[in-house]
Amino acid sequence: MYWEKDVETLSRNKLEELQLAQLIQTVKRTEKSYYYGKLFKEKNLSANSIKSLQDIQKFPFTTKDDLREHWPYGFIAVPKDELVRMHSSSGTTGRATVVFHTAHDIAVWSNLLARCMFMVGMRKSDVFQNMMTYGLFTGGLGFHYGAEKIGALVIPAGAGNSKRQIQLMMDFETTVVHVIPSYALHLSTVFTELKLDPRKDTKVKIAFLGAEPHTEKMRRKIEGIYSYKAFNSYGLSEMNGPGVAFECPYQDGMHIWEDSFLVEIIDPKTLEPVADGQEGELVMTSIQKEGMPLLRYRTKDLTRIIPGICPCGRTHRRIERIKGRTDDMLILKGVNIFPMQIEKKLMEIPDVGTNFLIILDRDEFNDSMTVKVEVNKKYFAGDIKQLENLRKKIAEELKGELLITPKVDLVEPDSIPKGEGKAVRVIDNRKD
């Protein structure tokens, strides 16, 4: 059941001792980078500033903009010839940032992923189909190395090419997949098109859903379509990539691997720590990295620590499913809206929700929101009244959730463009 029982179930005292020792090492290492070296001098900080884990709060935060401004090598903490791998973020919110790994970093990262996958039941005997983009994006190679470490047979399918994905899945009797949730839904429409039923025609029993926010309802919907168990996988390139936090078999929050990451949750406005269990922005310090360790990295991801102990016996704390990024929040007529609130409502309505898109517009007087929603094909073949009733129902449901009335446009399945990577949920035309 455990990949590394000792580490996964280490007592909180011991875990914190380990974190402190690694934090001190990390601060020593970061000092060697151009960025932190300069910063520590200016602020008179050093490894001696750390006597307890709380002392991390003496150090300033690191942001994506800091990484962009010191692109590409300003944060490396080892001589360049120690580096063996580069990756980059997806660039969802602007210019992509780059990260670097030493051989040790790759080994630690692969081990973390092996830990995640083993935790939910993947074994050496499994056939693992990795439907993530290989290359600069961390989701492909990250999982690939982890799965090989377990000893599974890896099919490096990469992203896209849906018919081939299905063919591979059937020919090689894939048992475990790694997939972006919005792509899992898209792929289900291709199964239907081919007159196949993933529940009967494939042998997949476990899926790892990662790389983009998705609701509990979306997970349940995907599990229903495929009849596999789907586990939430969270990570970001600045902290290696996937393998930062992962659901255990209880599917109630993601264990964040505290032997590798020191976790803080802050109020994104005041930048002060929030009370235990309260929602805020996740901030992390990588305490095992050599190549490019980061201190107090602001992820912009909103979550909270789930209080209490997980029945699985792991002592590493759990974070709740990510609600969205602070930069995802839309403000429309003074109301704050997260795309995930819309997804949550849509997933509750039958025949709706393989894909949706939020479009924001501005005319002379007003801002407006249109939600384009893909609905079951049958609505376009039948009575127009039925379509209108569904449209009204969706508009009402969304109004109840958002407190404003969006315009709702119903469209046929697959009419909203779907790329291979993370789903684009918002188009904002309001910029002047």
Residues numbered 208 to 227 that lie near ligand ADP (CB under 6 A) are 210-213
Quick one: which of 219, 240, 417, 415 has its CA closest to 321? 219
* Token pair recorded at residue 23: 């934090």
Which helix (DSSP H) or strand (DSSP E) does residue 99 occupy?
Answer: strand 98-102
Side by side, the strands of the sheet bearing 426-428 are: 407-411, 367-375, 352-362, 426-428
CA distance 213 to 392: 27
Does residue 89 interact with ligand ADP by CB under 6 A? Answer: yes
Contacted by 248, from ligand ADP, Zn ion, none: CB < 5 to 8 Å by type? Zn ion
Handedness of CA 343, 230, 101, 26 (dihedral sign): positive
Residue 221: CB minimum distance to ligand ADP, A: 16
Number of neighbours of residue 272 by Cβ within 10 angstroms? 9
Select 62 or 233, whichever has its Cβ closest to ligand ADP. Answer: 233
Q: How many residues bind ligand ADP (CB under 6 A)?
A: 18
Tokens 């305490």 belong to which residue?
287
Of the pair 310, 395, the CB lying nearest Zn ion is at: 310
DSSP assignment of 290-335 equals SSS--SSEEEEEEE-EEPS--TT---S-EE----EEGGG-EEETTE
Distance between CA atoms of residues 379 and 385, nearest Å: 9
Nearest to ligand ADP of 235, 293 (CB atom): 235
179 binds ligand ADP (CB under 6 A): no
Minimum CB distance to ligand ADP smaller for 233 or for 379: 233
Residue 276, both tokens: 């235990």
Residues forming the site for Zn ion (CB under 5 A): 248, 310, 312, 314
Which residue, 256 or 369, is less far from Zn ion as judged by CB? 256
Binding mask 230-269 for ligand ADP (x = CB under 6 A): --xxxxxx--------------------------------
Report if residue 301 touches ligand ADP, rule: CB under 6 A. Answer: yes
End-to-end CA distance of the chain: 55
Residue 413 is a binding residue for ligand ADP (CB under 6 A): no
Nearer to ligand ADP, 102 or 215 (CB): 215
51: Cα within 13 Å, side-chain hemisphere: 1
Q: How far is the CB of 184 from Zn ion (least distance, A)?
A: 23
The entry of ligand ADP, Zn ion, none near residue 89 (CB within 5 to 8 angstroms by kind) is: ligand ADP
Q: Are 397 and 330 in contact (CB under 8 A)?
A: no
Region of 146 on the Ramachandran plot (φ > 0 left; ψ -120 to 50 alpha; else beta): alpha
Residue among 127 and 245 whose Cβ is closer to ligand ADP: 245
Instruction: Please tell me the distance from the alpha carbon of residue 192 to that of residue 266, in angstroms, as a whole number.
Output: 44
Q: Which does 312 bind (CB under 5 to 8 A by kind): ligand ADP, Zn ion, none?
A: Zn ion
Minimal distance, residue 176 CB to ligand ADP, in Å: 17
Which of 91, 224, 313, 419 is in the footprint of ligand ADP by CB under 6 A? 91
Q: How near is the Cβ of 137 to ligand ADP at its closest, in Å?
A: 6
Least CB distance from residue 308 to Zn ion, whole Å?
Answer: 11
Q: Kindly tell me which residue out of 27, 266, 322, 357 binds ligand ADP, with binding defined by CB under 6 A.
A: 322
Return residues touching ligand ADP (CB under 6 A): 89-92, 210-213, 232-237, 299, 301, 322, 325
